[in-house]
């Protein structure tokens, strides 16, 4: 059993509105799993079902191989997008209270909180009220509260929103370290650059359906179009372009280079390999640049959503 | 899981009692209340501080045999000898409270309509009433005398009947006891209503705070909404009871200290508020030595211990039930201003209970309406407490308490349900219809 969390055929309706339609996902142990999708796709509903805030109408959720049970909330940490803390409660007291609600003993909660406060160098906030902290500072506290009870599964919904680049980097490093220490992380976001940077698995939801799931690299391979970005130098670039366009489908490419090259995206047919192409090109001109175009998460996101709406 | 409920109760209690406004109100309110009490007494005293001097000119010799008696508050001055005009002048000069003139008339009937009272300001009705009474009784005696009836015989024929009220198990009671019972019942019912209105909203505010601070989703991913609501209700109830207890202690201490310092006691309520009739009844009771028997009656007849137990049970039950309703309202809205539309849910049953209590219970404590409303959960805490001094079958109490507890749990469940569904819809002002729809959502 290599999946920490398995969602099987989950459907959830609110009145006439279907929020999730027969959705299944598998989150491998020790992965950073990106849960992606446009606004209103059903991500938050799915996350709430995993957190047992709301129950699915049908389908089931397996946690560590067994059906999800109420005690499992103790081993899940959740940072919701709509976040907040008691404004008039002191930071230390509040963090310990929330950790104890997650089943920790008071002693352990205190120790863990000290560890995190020392790590972030914020020990002086212990007796401050949340209302005395800035928004970014409160975010940091919220992160500590989410992870301090050492959950097996962490769920972050837009964890970086509202953080400045320095704090965003700090949190990113912590997430990577948590993963190194064996935590599984579900990561829901719109920010594709962080998906690219952190996630090894993704699932894409659109209009209440899952339209894509898998290892990010596998998906990229699936989505690549056998297109190569090339830079060529010959005596007559115009004639060369015309000649190539007769054999391949091409488009203008743009990248930065020192030479005044002919820059093209060349899409290969099914029967051609990259060595065929490079052989052909080097017989015609000097090849200064030759890169396979691999789609990034953002391209995949846009492409998949577009395909889905065309089909629908 | 049980430990979590304790955690929530503790947090809610602490959050409430550490609040600055709570601390200020706890300390300040008793002082204000005592000050108010003293102010009322002081104003009442100041109002009739001076001894009223009333002059009279009795040309008809009506008051010859049975004249006015001076009291602590009123002194009478006979100016018959100087005549009406001179008496008027003297009364004005000496600033008497007023002047009563009884002219000479042939018939008693004419005389009865020809008596005047002169004063600078409009006289106190109680003063006028007591003057009228005296004159009436003198006129009646004169008339009887003229009709040739012996007054002494009539006096000796006066018998006061006092019907003894006894229930079938042989316990005697009296009309006076009945009014004591009404008094105790209404006081208890009224206390519950006040307590609910003052302290009930704090649960609502606490629920709303969770939504505005957006912590709701963090909390609800750790515990069940039912536990959260239960914890909030109990925590806030404990805080309210604590404040109430502190008030009781502080008010007692402050009034004792204050009466030593200012030399006013609460026993001296404005005497003018008690009408002469009531005074006479009270006097009669005292004279007959009935007071002793009344005290023993009070001791033996009212079930003090069980009354106290029931009071505590219904007080807690009623308070918890209404707190749960307040919590449900808080769960349904996003801000306190939105709560207005739901307030009738709380106010109507409370008002109905008090109304039924005062009308139906006092007329017939065991009548069908009184019984029904003392069993229906929303009104039972108030109506049942009003009935209890009159004796209520234990079966009715058990049924009404069970219903009360079941309803409490039901409303907590309802509040939890609304709370859970409500987080899915931020910023939308819900209508009753919408809330009904939420109830039907699964989990």
Q: A61 with A10: CB under 8 angstroms? A: yes
Q: Do B213 and A85 touch (CB under 8 A)?
A: yes
Q: What is the mean pLDDT of chain B?
A: 80
Q: Best residue in B15, B205, B215 to probe A by mutation, most A CBs within 10 Å?
A: B215
Q: Compute CA A255 distance to the chain's CA centroid, rounded to the nearest angstrom.
A: 27
Beta-carbon contacts of B311 under 8 Å, excluding residues fewer than 6 positions away, are B188, B385, B388
Q: Please tell me which of the candidates B11, B222, B443 has its beta carbon nearest to residue A54.
A: B443
Cβ contacts of B11 on chain A, cutoff 8 Å: 97
| Comma-separated ranges of CATH 3.40.50.300 domains in chain A | 3-221
Higher pLDDT, A23 or B166: A23
Query: What is the predicted pLDDT for the residue at A273?
Result: 84
Nearest residue on chain B to A81, judged by CA atoms?
B217
At residue B433 the predicted structure's pLDDT band, cuts being 50, 70 and 90, is low
pLDDT in tens, B111-129: 878 888 888 878 878 778 8
Question: Which residue in the set B7, B213, B441 is minimally distant from A84, CB to CB?
Answer: B213
pLDDT of residue B435: 63
Q: Which of B216, B424, B442 sits opposite A57 (nearest CB)?
A: B442
CA B404 to chain A, closest CA, distance in angstroms equals 29
Instruction: Give the 3-state DSSP-derived string for chain A, with helices as H, strands as E and coil as C.
Output: CCEEEEEEEEEEEECCEEEEEEEEEEEECCCEEEEECCCCCCHHHHHHHHCCCCCCCEEEEEECCEECCHHHHHHEEEECCCCCCCCCCEHHHHHHHHHHHCCCCHHHHHHHHHHHHHHHCCHHHCCCEHHHCCHHHHHHHHHHHHHCCCCCEEEEECCCCCCCHHHHHHHHHHHHHHHHCCCEEEEECCCHHHHHHHCCEEEEEECCEEEEEEEHHHHHHHHCCCEEEEEEECCCHHHHHHHHHHHCEEEECCCCCCCCCEEEEEECCCCCCHHHHHHHHHHHCEEEEEEECCCCHHHHHHHHHHHHHHHC
Task: Name the more confident of A259 and B190.
Answer: B190
pLDDT band at B325 (very low <50, low <70, confident <90, very high): very high
Residues 6+ apart with CB under 8 A from B200: B319, B322, B323, B325, B326, B346
Q: Tell me if A238 sits within 8 A of A258, measured CB to CB.
A: no
Beta bridge partners of A188: A35, A157
d(CA B19, CA B22): 5
pLDDT of residue A13: 85
pLDDT at B426: 46
CA–CA dist A126, A113 (Å, integer):
9
Q: Is the pLDDT of residue A190 over 50?
A: yes
CATH 3.30.70 fits A225-292, yes or no: yes
Q: Where in chain A is the domain with CATH 3.30.70?
A: 225-292
CATH of A3-221, one of 3.40.50.920, 3.40.50.300, 3.40.30.10, 1.10.3720.10: 3.40.50.300
Residue B431 confidence class, pLDDT cut points 50, 70, 90? low
The answer to whether A145 contacts B218, with C-beta atoms less than 8 Å apart, is yes
Q: Is pLDDT larger for residue B438 or for residue A172? A: A172
Q: How far is CA B19 from CA A173, A263, B14, B248, B328, in A?
A: 39, 69, 8, 20, 23
Q: What is the pLDDT of residue A30?
A: 92
Which pTM does this prediction carry? 0.75
The number of C-alpha atoms within 13 Å of A10 and in the hemisphere containing its C-beta is 27
Chain B residue numbers with beta carbons less than 8 Å from the beta carbon of A143 are none
pLDDT in tens, B279-324: 555 555 555 555 666 666 666 666 778 888 888 899 899 999 999 9
Of the two residues B106 and B203, the one the predictor is more confident about is B203
Residue ranges covered by each domain of chain B: 2-36+177-440, 47-148
Specify the residue for token string 């990577």.
A176
Q: Is the pLDDT assigned to residue B269 strictly greater than 50?
A: no
- Residue A89 has its nearest CB partner, among B4, B15, B217, at B15
| Distance in angstroms (rounded) separating the CA atoms of residues B253 and B375 | 38
* pLDDT, tens digit, 9 for 90 and up, residues A26-65: 999 999 999 998 888 889 889 999 998 888 989 999 999 8
Whether residues B424 and A86 touch (CB distance < 8 A) is answered with: no
Q: Provide the token pair at A216.
A: 């990010």
For chain A, state the CA radius of gyration: 25
Taking residues A101-112, what's their average pLDDT?
Answer: 93
A-chain residue closest to B437, CA distance: A15
Instruction: Name the closest residue on chain A to residue B211, using Cα atoms.
Output: A84
* Chain B CB contacts of A83 below 8 Å: 214-215, 217-218
Question: Does residue B264 have a pLDDT over 70?
Answer: no
Chain A: closest CA distance from residue B317 (Å): 28
Please list every residue in chain B whose beta carbon sits closer than 8 Å to the beta carbon of residue A80. 217-218, 221
Instruction: Give me the total of CB pairs closer than 8 Å, taking one residue from chain A and one from chain B.
Output: 69
CB within 8 Å: A82 and B221 = no
Residue range B47-148, CATH number: 3.40.190.10
Looking at the partner chain, which of A52, A83, A87 has a beta carbon nearest the beta carbon of B218?
A: A83
């Amino acid at each position: 059993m290599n999946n920490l969390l398995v969602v099987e055929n989950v459907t959830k309706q609110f009145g006439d509105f279907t929020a999730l339609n027969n959705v299944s996902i598998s989150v491998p142990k020790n992965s950073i799993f990106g849960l992606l999708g446009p606004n209103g796709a059903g991500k938050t509903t799915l996350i709430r079902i995993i957190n047992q805030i709301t129950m699915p109408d049908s389908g089931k959720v397996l946690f560590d191989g067994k059906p999800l049970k109420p005690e499992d909330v103790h081993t899940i940490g959740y940072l919701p997008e709509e976040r907040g803390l008691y404004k008039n409660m002191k930071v230390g007291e509040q963090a310990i209270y929330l950790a104890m609600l997650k089943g920790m003993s008071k002693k352990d909660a205190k120790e863990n909180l000290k560890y995190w406060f020392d790590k972030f160098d914020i020990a002086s906030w212990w007796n401050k009220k949340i209302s005395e902290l800035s928004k970014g500072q409160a975010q940091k506290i919220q992160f500590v509260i989410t992870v301090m009870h050492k959950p097996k599964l962490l769920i972050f919904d837009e964890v970086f929103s509202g953080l400045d680049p320095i704090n965003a980097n700090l949190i990113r490093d912590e997430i990577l370290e948590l993963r190194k220490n064996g935590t599984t992380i579900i990561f829901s976001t719109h920010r594709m650059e962080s998906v690219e940077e952190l996630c090894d698995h993704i699932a894409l939801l659109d209009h209440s359906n899952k339209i894509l799931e898998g290892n990010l690299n596998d998906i990229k391979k699936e989505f690549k179009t056998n297109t190569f970005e090339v830079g060529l130098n010959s005596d007559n670039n115009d004639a060369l372009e015309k000649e190539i366009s007769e054999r391949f489908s091409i488009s203008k490419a743009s990248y930065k280079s020192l030479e005044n090259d002919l820059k093209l995206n060349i899409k290969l047919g099914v029967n051609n390999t990259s060595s065929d192409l490079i052989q052909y090109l080097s017989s015609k001109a000097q090849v200064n640049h030759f890169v396979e175009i691999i789609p990034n998460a953002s391209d995949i996101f846009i492409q998949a959503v577009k395909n889905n709406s065309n089909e629908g | 899981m049980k430990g979590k409920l304790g955690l929530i109760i503790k947090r809610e209690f602490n959050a409430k009692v550490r609040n600055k406004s709570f601390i200020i109100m706890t300390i300040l309110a008793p002082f204000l209340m005592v000050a108010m009490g003293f102010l009322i007494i002081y104003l009442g005293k100041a109002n009739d501080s001076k001894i009223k001097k009333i002059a009279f000119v009795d040309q008809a010799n009506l008051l010859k045999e049975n004249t006015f008696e001076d009291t602590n508050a009123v002194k009478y001055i006979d100016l018959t000898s100087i005549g009406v005009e001179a008496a008027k002048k003297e009364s004005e000069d000496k600033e008497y409270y007023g002047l009563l003139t009884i002219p000479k008339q042939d018939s008693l009937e004419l005389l009865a309509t020809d008596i005047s009272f002169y004063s600078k300001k409009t006289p106190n009705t109680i003063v006028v009433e007591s003057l009228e009474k005296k004159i009436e009784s003198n006129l009646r005696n004169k008339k009887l005398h003229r009709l040739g009836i012996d007054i002494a015989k009539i006096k000796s024929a006066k018998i006061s009947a006092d019907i003894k009220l006894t229930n079938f198990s042989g316990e005697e009671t009296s009309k006076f006891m009945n009014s004591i019972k009404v008094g105790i019942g209404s006081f208890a019912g009224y206390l519950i209503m006040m307590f609910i209105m003052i302290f009930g909203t704090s649960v609502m505010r606490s629920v709303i705070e969770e939504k505005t601070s957006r912590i709701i989703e963090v909390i609800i991913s750790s515990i069940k909404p039912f536990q959260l609501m239960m914890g909030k209700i109990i925590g806030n109830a404990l805080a309210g009871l604590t404040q109430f207890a502190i008030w009781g202690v502080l008010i007692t201490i402050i009034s004792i200290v204050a009466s030593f310092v200012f030399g006013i006691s609460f026993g001296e309520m404005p005497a003018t508020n008690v009408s002469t009739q009531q005074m006479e009844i009270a006097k009669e009771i005292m004279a007959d030595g009935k007071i002793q028997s009344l005290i023993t009656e009070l001791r033996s007849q009212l079930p003090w211990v069980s009354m106290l137990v029931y009071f505590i049970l219904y007080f807690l039950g009623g308070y918890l039930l209404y707190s749960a309703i307040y919590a449900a309202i808080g769960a349904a809205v996003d801000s306190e201003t939105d709560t207005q539309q739901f307030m009738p849910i709380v106010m109507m049953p409370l008002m109905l209970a008090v109304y039924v209590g005062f009308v139906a219970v006092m007329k017939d404590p065991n009548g069908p309406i009184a019984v029904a409303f003392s069993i229906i959960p929303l009104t039972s805490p108030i109506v049942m407490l009003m009935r209890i001094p009159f004796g209520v079958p234990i079966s009715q109490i058990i049924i009404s308490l069970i219903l009360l507890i079941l309803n409490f749990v039901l409303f907590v469940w309802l509040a939890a349900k609304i709370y859970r569904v409500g987080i899915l819809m931020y910023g939308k002002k819900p209508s009753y219809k919408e809330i009904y729809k939420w109830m039907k959502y699964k989990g």
